């Protein structure tokens, strides 16, 4: 037992004993192979000790279990150490890993190119620019065998994306942050394609659509590795560890590049019709669940999450169907009305909305304030579904001008919806 007040205080358990051999010895990295006792918990395993950036006490050493084919085969045996517990029992459960790191992702603050350039100067002048992928934010919890996916809202999305569950991130449990993306025939992210996957619940339909519309998991951050919290490390260090984890993970999982020129990256994003870019402070820590000024998003098109609170029946060609949605944004006095959305729908989207909204009908208006003209003939619904719209601007009264429907956001909950700032 290590005494209280000392580093690592608490009860220590010896899982195995044996020998080791050094493969690499550098000032910032040590790789060694550990050989456990016959029948022990460890078998034959390779480890890497990685020194993070920083001077003095700011520098840390992290222990990472490396992916190794030979070790993996040897480790397939169920072995019991001196404690009587198996290696599987010794490994943290995936739920424990997720709870320890916190599955609520860190959020970016809306910004402009000028403000972002000023922030880069304050951060030391080292630009760190990533593309903003038009997909679904997902925290991945890897237990060494299976990947569990959690949405921004905390909902489990694993069953919706069975093609990602066996993404190999090594033998060590870890928690990662990234975006699930569907690519079109030109290799560009397509939110419209992703909509075909997002709202499915039937397992047979999920499997069929997974074959027709494959997705990729773009990783951009690391919250935990092998039971160790990584959120206090700098983004620069977390990224280095993440790239090692993703190496060999297969074509479904990738770590997109980081760029060092804000203007050039914005031009490239604009030319590829991407959503925008995210500028990050390379020395910042990860703050789960917080909207941080260390991450600045610059959108090339204005989008806004909205909560659906009502339906206007369709007329003419849409008679008997949804004509428009009445949407709002939560505020201090309740759900603030943000206008009607009547364009951008496909027939499939209208059918999905009708199916999901039908059981949510209520008698009472859920909005704090709705103009009488918009409320006329409205069918009110419980404000539980979140969608995303593209729009031109907000009016002085907070109404979305030229709002166009982009799709449902089942990965988000109404209490996470906020009014976006100026982009």
Could you tell me where in the chain the CATH 2.40.50.140 domains are found? 303-416
CATH code 1.10.3720.10 for 98-299: no
Please name the fold of domain 303-416. OB fold (Dihydrolipoamide Acetyltransferase, E2P) (2.40.50)
More confident residue, 323 or 47: 323
Average pLDDT over residues 370-380: 92
Q: Which residues of 30-41 are buried (b: 16+ CB within 10 A; e: fewer)?
A: bbbbbbbeeebb
Query: Of 6-15, 126-135, 382-391, which range is least confident?
Result: 6-15
* 7 pLDDT higher than 70: no
Residue 151 pLDDT class (50, 70, 90 cuts): very high
* Each residue's pLDDT tens digit, 170-203: 888 999 999 999 999 888 899 989 999 998 888 9
Beta carbons within 8 Å of 185's beta carbon, 6+ residues apart: none
Q: Are 254 and 243 in contact (CB under 8 A)?
A: no
Question: Which residues sit opposite 279 in a β-bridge?
Answer: 129, 296
Average pLDDT of the chain, as a whole number: 84
Segment holding 262, helix H or strand E: helix 262-271
Average pLDDT over residues 233-237: 96
Neighbours of 374 (CB within 10 A): 17
Could you tell me where in the chain the CATH 3.30.310 domains are found? 18-90
- Give, in order, the Cα–Cα distances in Å from 411 to each of 48, 340, 402, 420: 36, 22, 25, 18
CATH code 3.30.310 for 18-90: yes
Residues marked active site are found at 132
State how far the Cα of 162 lies from the Cα of 152, in Å rounded to an integer. Answer: 19
pTM: 0.69
More confident residue, 104 or 285: 285
- The SS3 of residue 17 is coil
State how far the Cα of 321 lies from the Cα of 389, in Å rounded to an integer. Answer: 20
Could you tell me where in the chain the CATH 3.30.470.30 domains are found? 98-299
State how far the Cα of 147 lies from the Cα of 412, in Å rounded to an integer. Answer: 20
* Each residue's pLDDT tens digit, 72-104: 333 332 332 333 333 333 444 444 444 444 578
Q: Which of 172, 13, 12 is nearest to 82 (CA)?
A: 13
Query: Of 84-98, 153-167, 385-399, which range is least confident?
Result: 84-98
- The SS3 of residue 253 is strand
* Each residue's pLDDT tens digit, 251-263: 899 999 999 999 9
């Amino acid at each position: 037992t290590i005494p209280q007040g000392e580093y690592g205080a608490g009860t220590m358990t010896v899982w195995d004993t044996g020998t080791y051999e050094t493969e690499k010895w550098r000032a910032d990295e040590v790789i060694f192979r550990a050989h456990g006792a016959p029948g022990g918990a460890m078998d034959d395993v390779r480890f890497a000790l990685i020194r993070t950036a920083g001077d003095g006490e700011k520098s840390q050493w992290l222990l990472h279990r490396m992916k190794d084919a030979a070790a993996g085969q040897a480790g397939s045996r169920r072995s019991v150490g001196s404690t009587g517990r198996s290696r599987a029992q010794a490994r943290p459960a995936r739920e424990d890993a997720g709870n320890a790191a916190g599955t609520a992702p860190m959020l970016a603050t809306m910004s402009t190119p000028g403000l972002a350039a000023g922030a880069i100067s304050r951060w030391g002048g080292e630009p760190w620019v990533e593309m903003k992928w038009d997909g679904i934010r997902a925290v991945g919890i890897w237990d060494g065998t299976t990947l569990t996916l959690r949405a921004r809202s905390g909902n489990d999305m694993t069953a919706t994306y069975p093609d990602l569950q066996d993404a190999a991130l090594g033998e060590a449990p870890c928690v990662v942050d990234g975006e699930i993306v569907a690519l079109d025939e030109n290799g560009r992210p397509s939110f419209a394609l992703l909509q075909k996957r997002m709202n499915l619940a039937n397992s047979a339909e999920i499997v069929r659509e997974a074959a027709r519309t494959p997705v990729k998991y773009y990783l951009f951050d690391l919250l935990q590795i092998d039971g160790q919290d990584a959120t206090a490390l700098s983004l620069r260090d977390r990224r280095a560890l993440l790239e090692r984890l993703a190496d060999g993970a297969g074509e479904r999982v990738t770590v997109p590049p980081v760029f060092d020129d804000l203007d050039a990256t914005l031009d490239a994003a604009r030319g590829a019709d991407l959503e925008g870019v995210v500028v990050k402070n390379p020395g910042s820590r990860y703050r789960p669940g917080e909207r941080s000024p260390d991450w600045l998003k610059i959108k090339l098109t204005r989008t806004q999450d909205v909560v659906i609170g009502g339906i206007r029946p369709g007329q003419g060609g849409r008679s008997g169907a949804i004509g428009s949605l009445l949407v709002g944004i939560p505020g201090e006095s309740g759900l603030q009305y943000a206008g009607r959305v009547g364009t951008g729908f496909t027939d499939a989207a209208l059918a999905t909305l009708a199916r999901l909204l039908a059981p949510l009908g209520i008698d009472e208006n859920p909005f704090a304030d709705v103009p009488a003209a918009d409320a006329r003939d409205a069918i009110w619904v419980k404000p539980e579904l979140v969608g995303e719209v593209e729009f031109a601007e907000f009016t002085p009264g907070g109404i979305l001008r030229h709002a166009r429907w982009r799709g449902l956001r089942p990965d988000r909950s109404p209490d996470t919806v906020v009014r976006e700032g100026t982009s």
